[in-house]
Homo-oligomer: A and B are copies of this chain.
């Protein structure tokens, strides 16, 4: 069989992609099918919300089922929410130090969230801090067709009620399944002027 032809792409995703729109009599247009792959504000807000929920889920799983279960969940979260499969993610987590400030690989990102990787001895596992609440406070959102970027505060509350506010930027792209994926994530503690 001809090796230069790939197997058939997953057709199951089609339904999530196609928006059938019968245009009414108020329009002279009668397109049978409209496929809109632009990123919408609603999708961006949903992706941010999913990130917050995942952080809480990992914290809760760690508390209830231990670190191994939390780590397994973190892998699923990374693989569904980030874009490491395209080769790199520009990820600067909140509390990393040199020489491991940037986590451009999947393995280094997993270590940041759940720790336990001797290659990154400083990683305590950011997602294991018993987070109970994660609030997104966007300052601005820029959607440029096939990519969307956000900047603002994220307020994290731990089980003792202590709130940590961080400055966070995210850039998302849409994958072939029409799902948003994080390709840039820069998080930093607030500058206090010393």
Contact = CB atoms under 8 A, between A and B. Distances in A.
By DSSP majority rule, is chain A's interface helix, strand, loop, or mixed? Answer: mixed
Interface residues of A, number: 96
* Copies of this protein, total: 4
A82 to B, nearest CB: 9
Interface in A148-190: 149-153, 167, 169, 171, 173-177, 179, 183-184, 186, 188-190
A29 B49 CA distance: 9
Interface in A43-61: 45, 48-50, 54, 57
Interface string A105-133: 01000000000000000100000000000
Contacts of A67: none
Contact of A76 (B1, B39, B41, B167): B1
Given A90-B169, A147-B147, A11 B85 contact: yes
12 contacts: A5-B79, A5-B80, A8-B76, A14-B85, A28-B49, A30-B137, A38-B39, A85-B176, A90-B151, A92-B151, A102-B140, A144-B146
